[in-house]
Chains A and B, each alone.
Chain A
């Protein structure tokens, strides 16, 4: 009971519903895409000997990969749209460091994350400047994966959307190269997930503002005395 200081916190609604929905749909899609992608790249050996007509599991794995890819892609488009109409924490400006203040904050976060110094300056209640920029880079990777993925898919599809990406194949020098790059960039997601999840927990502790739960409920907490410095 007595192990705490009386500091007044205010609840702030940071992540709107579309942002949270985007986040979790994206998370599920990425995990599915990584898992199925690994299997497609290197299928699990089957020890029993069936005939081909008795099963379709590899086809199913690929189907899941393609469905997840479509959802991932449109979800990503919705998020881009929300970057122009959402609240100030969802806006595109959070992702691209255009102001001196954002660069200062990036440096501060780097110091806190890597050198583990104590937090000196107040950092943004939404995405911090470094996180925002990393998300921007990952959006570029999303785009790359969508381009290469749909390009590979275009040869096996008659639908309109994948055909839009067919030009990527000759540009990259053939399906083999496209497949290779698509595979290499998959590893970005693996590393991203590890670091992202860890940093959420770490910042939850460093900032004490409810980072982890905010992506579920949307609310964060800010000290009353710091509310007037809001970004």
Chain B
């Protein structure tokens, strides 16, 4: 598609951009990737001297919400990323090419740039029945994944589907939908979320481009920059949580006052994401800001952790409304009842025993006088 030998600076020059505009763009990209001002030189150098890496974007079991989110990233504008500093060689949803042409693009990139191209995966891969539940151009997703990942310089798993299975892998997972990191034997950057924040996605790509290596990842393979803190930790409603001021129902006075949504099931305290800092749609808002609790979409198995409007999941096998507390209360009451029944029978026995012992120790006395004490 594009000429891979050019660096971004060369490309921008050829399009008539000035040096000033180029540096401005570098500044944007650096800020986005969280690089401090002293690191700006590295960014400029990377964009000036490094040829733009080819990118292959594969779509498997997904809904394209990740792509939708990506093309809505605010800075640098997506056109710049897609067509200027990346060279997007293959992506089913956005490419102009179709059929044989498209497949050839993919083939060429893999062959011509082994160990250089970045592989972006959107969607999980079904493993059941030899993977027939997701096929592109007559080949299974699993087959395509192995082929494209083999020589990739870096593999990024976009969204919850690719990084933890999302809705396809929720119980009972009929197609055995599997996240990418469980299939590949190489490091995978997980960028979970349904979808992930567009600006986070571009920042991760920028990081790889500028530094030529993966960002720092946590134990679950997520970039620490964006996933080391809970939504709760930086939430603007956090003070209400600490003050114990909670929304009880979505239509009460407390909801209108903007209290904490913890009691109506907000998953902020158990969800690692940058929503409350980066926000969505050019920093406009995020779920909690618009009055709805976080549903924990970037967390492993969040579809199975329902219902979304209570903080304790329903207890498996006991119907939808049953939580651990219901079961616990039943068991607790049963224990108390058992203890009470035991105490009653014990005291009946005790009465007889005391009676016998008194008689034994005091045979001359009338048996009727033996009391409890």
Report A's interface with B, CB cutoff 8 A. Answer: 2-5, 41-46, 49-59, 61, 116, 155-156, 166-167, 169-170, 173-177, 179-180, 183-184, 186-187, 190-191, 194-195, 198, 202, 205
Using an 8 Å CB-CB cutoff, how does the interface string of B253-278 with A read, 1 for contact, 0 for none?
11001000011000101111000000
Determine the chain A residues whose CB is within 8 A of the CB of B365 once the complex forms: 2
Contact A156 B332 (CB under 8 A): no
| CB-contact partner of B243 in A42, A52, A155, A184, under 8 A | A52
Is B38 located at the chain interface by the 8 A CB criterion?
no
Report B's interface with A, CB cutoff 8 A. Answer: 219-220, 229-230, 233, 239-246, 248, 253-254, 257, 262-263, 267, 269-272, 296, 299-302, 305, 311-313, 324-325, 327-328, 331-332, 335-336, 339, 342-343, 345-346, 349-350, 357-358, 360-362, 365, 370
Determine the chain A residues whose CB is within 8 A of the CB of B301 once the complex forms: 173-174, 176-177
In the complex, what distance in Å separates the CA atom of A43 from the CA atom of B262?
9
Closest to B242 in A: A59
Determine the chain A residues whose CB is within 8 A of the CB of B312 once the complex forms: 41, 180, 183
Determine the chain A residues whose CB is within 8 A of the CB of B349 once the complex forms: 116
The CB with the most chain A CB atoms within 10 A, among B267, B311, B345, B350, is that of B311
Determine the chain A residues whose CB is within 8 A of the CB of B313 once the complex forms: 176, 180
In the complex, what distance in Å separates the CA atom of A45 from the CA atom of B263?
9
Contact A195 B244 (CB under 8 A): no
The 3 closest A-B pairs by CB, nearest first: A58-B244, A187-B328, A175-B270
A194 with B361, Cβ < 8 A, contacts A175-B269, A205-B350 known: no
Contact B332 A55 (CB under 8 A): no
Question: Would you mind naming 30 contact pairs between A and B with Cβ atoms under 8 Å apart?
Answer: A2-B365, A3-B357, A5-B360, A5-B361, A43-B244, A43-B262, A44-B244, A49-B257, A50-B245, A54-B243, A55-B245, A56-B242, A56-B243, A58-B241, A58-B242, A155-B229, A155-B272, A174-B300, A174-B305, A175-B272, A176-B270, A176-B296, A176-B301, A177-B300, A184-B324, A186-B328, A187-B324, A190-B328, A191-B332, A195-B339
Contact A202 B270 (CB under 8 A): no
Closest to B253 in A: A49
Determine the chain B residues whose CB is within 8 A of the CB of A44 once the complex forms: 244
Determine the chain A residues whose CB is within 8 A of the CB of B257 once the complex forms: 49
In the complex, what distance in Å separates the CA atom of A170 from the CA atom of B163?
13
Contact B361 A2 (CB under 8 A): yes
Distance in Å: Cβ of B300 to nearest Cβ of chain A: 4
Distance in Å: Cβ of B84 to nearest Cβ of chain A: 37
Contact B339 A194 (CB under 8 A): yes
Determine the chain B residues whose CB is within 8 A of the CB of A156 once the complex forms: 230, 233
In the complex, what distance in Å separates the CA atom of A195 from the CA atom of B343?
11
| CB-contact partner of A3 in B335, B345, B361, under 8 A | B361
Contact A3 B358 (CB under 8 A): yes
In the complex, what distance in Å separates the CA atom of A183 from the CA atom of B328?
10
Contact A52 B262 (CB under 8 A): no
Determine the chain A residues whose CB is within 8 A of the CB of B360 once the complex forms: 5
| CB-contact partner of A4 in B240, B263, B361, under 8 A | B361
Determine the chain B residues whose CB is within 8 A of the CB of A58 once the complex forms: 241-244
A187 with B327, Cβ < 8 A, contacts A174-B299, A176-B296, A179-B270 known: yes
Closest to B305 in A: A176
Closest to B365 in A: A2
Determine the chain B residues whose CB is within 8 A of the CB of A190 once the complex forms: 328, 332
In the complex, what distance in Å separates the CA atom of A179 from the CA atom of B350?
45
Closest to A182 in B: B324
Contact B362 A202 (CB under 8 A): no
Determine the chain A residues whose CB is within 8 A of the CB of B271 once the complex forms: 175-176
Closest to B310 in A: A42
Distance in Å: Cβ of A224 to nearest Cβ of chain B: 18
In the complex, what distance in Å separates the CA atom of A42 from the CA atom of B312?
9
Distance in Å: Cβ of A168 to nearest Cβ of chain B: 11
| CB-contact partner of B246 in A45, A51, A54, A198, under 8 A | A45
In the complex, what distance in Å separates the CA atom of A190 from the CA atom of B245?
27
Given A43-B263, A176-B302, 14 additional A-B pairs, CB 8 A: A3-B358, A42-B263, A155-B229, A174-B270, A175-B270, A175-B272, A177-B301, A186-B328, A187-B324, A190-B332, A191-B331, A191-B332, A194-B339, A202-B346
